[in-house]
Structure 1
Amino acid sequence: MIQNNYFSDNEDLTLQFEKIMSWNDIIDTYENGFEDAKSYQKDGNERLAMAPSNHQEAVDFYRTILESTGEIAGKEIAPKAQVMDHTGLKFNSGKVTFPDEMVACMKSVKEAGIMPYSITRHYGGLGLPVTAQVMMMETISRADAAFAIAMGCVNLGETIESFASDEMIEEWVPQMAAGDLWGAMALTEPNYGSDLQNVRTKAEKGADGTWRITGTKRFITHGCGFGDTPAVILTLARTGGPESGGRGLSFFLVKGQDVEIAGIEKKMGLHISPTCEVVYDNSPALLIGEEGKGLVKYAMGMMNGARLSIAAQSMGIASAAFYEAKKYASERVQFGKTIDKIPAVAKMLEGMEREIIAMRCLLLEAATSVDMYHWRKHRLAHEGMADRDVRRDELVKKWEKLADLFTPLSKYYTSELTNKLAFDAVQIHGGAGYTEEYDVARIYRDARITNIYEGTTQLQVVAAIGGVVSGMTPSGHLRAYIDETLKGFEPSTMLKRNFEIFEEIVRAYREISEGEQKDALAFEVVESAARYINGLLLERSIDRLVKQGENVDRRRQLVDGYNRDSFAMLTANLVRVGGESRVEVRAGAAV
């Protein structure tokens, strides 16, 4: 693996951070008038000592965290990634043993203070907006995706912080922020993967008011905790009858010491990430929030956050694939020249680069949409506004609808393209890439899970299709977002044409009356939305860079190439959804 600072050496990531991101809008929403800094000045609460007091301090703080993360990722974790992967995990009598190198790296992360990135400052966390969090996850995942998962598990404390009582938050979250407790999310069961409404693990309330859980959960990441650090397992269990569906499920906190780890999975990739089978046998449990809202409110909220994390993880794996392929191609000599000078290889590398910048645009826009609604919603509720009125707030409505669309869109797109880029990285390495001598073999294996877990691509399409179709109505939220974005710059002719084709795809899809046919074609519509939105965001990024006096010649070349590819894909999708005659007559495209 390349050994460098994985934040500062990532040209597009740093360009996004320094020049493209609208930090002031995010900071205004997240920092809320810099209330944490004001509280520190007033009360001297040491947990708030690092809180920024203005926009520049906030950006500088986020940058410092990302640079520290990049240093550890590129110079401590990356050099050990292959050794950790080959050593793997050992399981014996309910105990999971981790590679010594992983324990040492985790100690470095803990000592650097960068572990609790999504927990707020009030409970010992860093207090970062989601946008900075996904940049951190990408940076760590580039070094080792499995390690990034382990680090991320601590941040499940944010779920407790969001939904539990004040007393429960104060008891558990600071321990997680300090790394004294690990986190695990237990939703899936042996016979019920994504079909969470049919969960069978049972929670019963005793005469003394305490809850106990019986059942089995499967594919539970870090259900075993980490080393000697036990887990708190956030568990979905049935409190209603078997017929109660999603409304009969509640959300619980269970101590890792009160369950049995029956085994860990032997997986294709992510060899240092324990995927556990967890057995509950009358295990004591603490109810989180209200009974009956475990799936519809708490688990879904946790899963949406997890999906964005996997999108960021995918981004990191894709970055690793690209940079490793680029380095190898610049050093490998064939036919008297380095292979990056061979047109076929150069074409692959350029295709990888333009996908990388498109993926990152979509990921960061999804994260921005979450920041723009989540923290405003949280603040209004904290100020005492009724839940109904919070939901009616215009800014909350606008950004929540966009977040509900961009989150599955980003998870689908980044994970699918990550698999393609990992494939291409192996291809560029040739026969060497098929061996375990180079890290691309691990990168390729690790990439394969990203479009499966936390909801497969097919489920992300189901989650996104409604937002695309309803969003493109005359008063729809997606159309309003596109119109608002286009007010800031003049789009290229190709982007305008792509929008016309995208509109026609959605129109043709609406006209399909047969349900199964509609379901079968949803992917083409969602893919078309992703390609158009990415092109829109890429051209917006060029406009922002031009206004700051940046040279954009290379970026413009990549963006033009991306939009040409999109034109071909959108045209093909219009044929699939609406037929050839629609392309010829309605789209205005040359065929």
Structure 2
Amino acid sequence: MLQNNYFSDVADLQLHFDHIINWKEIIDSYENGFTDAAKYRAGDERFATAPSSYDEAKEYYKTLLESVGEFAGKEIAPFVAELDREGVRFKDGKVIFPEKLLEIVRKARDAGLQPTGFSRKYGGLGVPWSVRAFFSEILYRVDASVCIAIGCVNLAEIIEKNGSEELKDDWLPRLAAGEFACAMGLTEPDHGSDLPGLRTRATLKEGNTYLLNGTKRFITQGCGTGEIPAILLLLARTGNPGSGARGLSFFLVQSKDIQIAGIEKKMGLHCSPTCEVVLENTPGILIGEEGHGLVKHTMGMLNGARMGISQQGVGIAQAALGEAKKYAAERIQFGKPIETIPAVRKILRRMERETMAMRCLMLEGARAMDLYYFRGEHLKEKGATDRDLKSDVVLKYWERLASILTPISKFYCSESCVKIAGDAVQVHGGAGFTEDYDVSRIYRDARITTIYDGTSQIQVNASIGGITTGMSNHGFLREYIENEWSHFPTEETKLLSDAWDVYQDLMGIHKDLPASEDKEETADEIVWATARLLSGLLFYRSTLRMPEDSRTERLSHVDEYNLDSLGYMEGLRARLKIKAASIQAV
């Protein structure tokens, strides 16, 4: 792997941080008038790192990203090939990690780089989603397994959102300090996406403690990390067997009280243990309210989970791009570097523009998360009721945008990163099919992104309703697109405008398909077209926020991306017309 600072060595990341992101709106939402800094001035040392101005906030965020970039490129990158070869092992009921991985996790903990998901009150870094997006992309770029081992503790942010004050005070400071890893326990041997059918039972013992019995499968880091134990956040049934989603509750369980039956032998993520967990009268602490485990608590964290995989997709794509460009510059064929060969140059340029567009979509999702999530939290701190929150127009706008963008982003960034990783293997030729180069591991690790935290098909199901209703005459998605469009100069957006016209046409054809099965069959293509339209729009918007002297090259990438999108949409429109005509003929 390249051994640079993984924040400062990507010009596009620098552009987004320095120019494209509107930090004022993010800081206003997250820092809430710099109230944490006021608490520090009042003597509360927990808020010592809190910024007291916009400049301080931006500088604090950038310092963190430079630190994690340096850590990724210098402390992790030299060892990822070795870690991938060694992997984790299961022996005598225990998961055995490579010592180098445990050393890296300890270094990350000691450097204070782990708790991105917790507020400063509990010992977290205290950063908004937009900063976490950079943070995660950087770590996922160097190695997904290591990133999971370092960052899995942040799954426990669900405790900060839904736990009692006693539970938060008891657990969050220890989690932020790195005393525990964290795992999410949703999937069971017979129930993956079908969460309402879960069978693990929870029986009230006393107070807030229950006894859990059942089996969980595909539980990442369920064993902890070496000497670091884990807490598991589990869904279990407190209602009767037929109670469905409303019979499920959310629990905190400690890894010392469970059995690890084994770990999966996987295509990729070799240093990330995927465990089968057995619960036999295992003590569990209820998080939130009984019966709200799936409907309120689990569904409430899905936006964050989806954004995490979007960030992973962009990080892996950036890794693939970096390795492909390096190889193409060094590999000499026919007396010249292969990067100069038109067929190879074409692949590299496509990889670059696709990665840049993915990043625009992913960061817009993070922006929406920032502008609804933290506004809601601050309103609740001021005593707002659930009714107040539901009637807040600004909050509702950003919540709706996040709900649309996050599944689209997860779907698009994960599917795209697999394609880009495949392109990187192609650039390497026969060498890419060996284990001698990092692209082999990158390609294997990329493949899981379309599967975990909700398959691509689940993301399509989660997206399509918001897209079809959102594109009605006064729909929310149409309103969002047209509002952004109103700031664009028409002389630079011909290709994007053509794509928008074709997109509206094909959406009308899709809407008029008579059978729901026909609509479902083409839903993935509609979501893909929507993702490309949104990415192209945001990609172009990014050029309006950067220095004029560096716009020309970026605009050429934007035009090429939107031309690709236009071609895809015209093809989809033609296929939908044929489908509609064949249905009418019958």
Do Structure 1 and Structure 2 share a fold, with TM-score over 0.5?
yes
SS at match of 1:228: coil
Provide the residue aligned with 1:589 in structure 2: none
Per the TM alignment, residue 530 of structure 1 is displaced from its structure 2 partner at its CA by 0.7
SS at match of 1:86: helix
Per the TM alignment, residue 580 of structure 1 is displaced from its structure 2 partner at its CA by 8.8
TM-score (norm 2): 0.97
Per the TM alignment, residue 157 of structure 1 is displaced from its structure 2 partner at its CA by 2.2
For the residues of structure 1 that align with 2:393 and 2:348, how far apart are their CA atoms?
Answer: 43
- C-alpha offsets along residues 194-235 of structure 1, whole Å, 9 cap, x if unaligned? 100100000011366631100000000010011111111000
Provide the residue aligned with 1:588 in structure 2: none
Per the TM alignment, residue 91 of structure 1 is displaced from its structure 2 partner at its CA by 1.2
1:46/1:156 Cα in 2 relative to 1: closer, same or farther (>3 Å)?
Answer: same
- C-alpha offsets along residues 95-153 of structure 1, whole Å, 9 cap, x if unaligned? 11111111121122112111101111000000110111011111011111111111121
Provide the residue aligned with 1:193 in structure 2: 192
The amino acid that maps onto 1:510 is: K
Provide the residue aligned with 1:29 in structure 2: 29
Asked if 2 retains the 8 angstrom alpha-carbon contact of 1:524 and 1:577, the reply is: no
The amino acid that maps onto 1:172 is: W
The amino acid that maps onto 1:8 is: S
Provide the residue aligned with 1:434 in structure 2: 433
1:204/1:18 Cα in 2 relative to 1: closer, same or farther (>3 Å)?
Answer: same
Asked if 2 retains the 8 angstrom alpha-carbon contact of 1:363 and 1:410, the reply is: yes
SS at match of 2:522: helix
Provide the residue aligned with 1:425 in structure 2: 424
> In angstroms, what is the RMSD of aligned CA positions?
1.2
How do residues 43-62 of structure 1 correspond to structure 2 at under 5 angstroms?
A: 44-62=43-61
Provide the residue aligned with 1:41 in structure 2: 41
Provide the residue aligned with 1:17 in structure 2: 17
Provide the residue aligned with 1:565 in structure 2: 564
Tell me whether 210-219 or 379-388 shows the greater mean CA deviation: 379-388
How do residues 305-454 of structure 1 correspond to structure 2 at under 5 angstroms?
A: 305-454=304-453
SS at match of 2:553: helix
Asked if 2 retains the 8 angstrom alpha-carbon contact of 1:148 and 1:313, the reply is: no
1:88/1:506 Cα in 2 relative to 1: closer, same or farther (>3 Å)?
Answer: same
Per the TM alignment, residue 581 of structure 1 is displaced from its structure 2 partner at its CA by 9.6
Asked if 1 retains the 8 angstrom alpha-carbon contact of 2:460 and 2:523, the reply is: yes
Provide the residue aligned with 1:140 in structure 2: 139
Provide the residue aligned with 1:585 in structure 2: none
Tell me whether 261-270 or 94-103 shows the greater mean CA deviation: 94-103
For the residues of structure 2 that align with 1:362 and 1:459, how far apart are their CA atoms?
Answer: 19
**Structure 2: gaps (5+ residues):** 582-586
- C-alpha offsets along residues 516-575 of structure 1, whole Å, 9 cap, x if unaligned? 111111112111111111111111111112xx4342111111111001000000111112
- C-alpha offsets along residues 284-313 of structure 1, whole Å, 9 cap, x if unaligned? 110000010000111112332111111101
**Structure 1: gaps (5+ residues):** 583-591
How do residues 155-554 of structure 1 correspond to structure 2 at under 5 angstroms?
A: 155-206=154-205, 210-491=209-490, 492-545=493-546, 548-554=547-553
Asked if 2 retains the 8 angstrom alpha-carbon contact of 1:72 and 1:108, the reply is: no
Tell me whether 204-213 or 336-345 shows the greater mean CA deviation: 204-213
The amino acid that maps onto 1:426 is: V
Asked if 2 retains the 8 angstrom alpha-carbon contact of 1:157 and 1:177, the reply is: no
For the residues of structure 2 that align with 1:210 and 1:251, how far apart are their CA atoms?
Answer: 12
For the residues of structure 2 that align with 1:577 and 1:474, how far apart are their CA atoms?
Answer: 21
SS at match of 1:270: coil
Provide the residue aligned with 1:116 in structure 2: 115
Provide the residue aligned with 2:584 in structure 1: none
Asked if 2 retains the 8 angstrom alpha-carbon contact of 1:329 and 1:339, the reply is: yes
Which 4+ runs in 1 deviate beyond 4 A? none
Per the TM alignment, residue 90 of structure 1 is displaced from its structure 2 partner at its CA by 1.5
For the residues of structure 2 that align with 1:156 and 1:123, how far apart are their CA atoms?
Answer: 14
The amino acid that maps onto 1:517 is: D
TM-score (norm 1): 0.96
- For these two proteins, the number of residue pairs brought into alignment is 579
Tell me whether 104-113 or 561-570 shows the greater mean CA deviation: 104-113
SS at match of 2:252: strand
Tell me whether 151-160 or 297-306 shows the greater mean CA deviation: 297-306
SS at match of 1:448: helix
Asked if 1 retains the 8 angstrom alpha-carbon contact of 2:204 and 2:211, the reply is: yes
The amino acid that maps onto 2:17 is: F
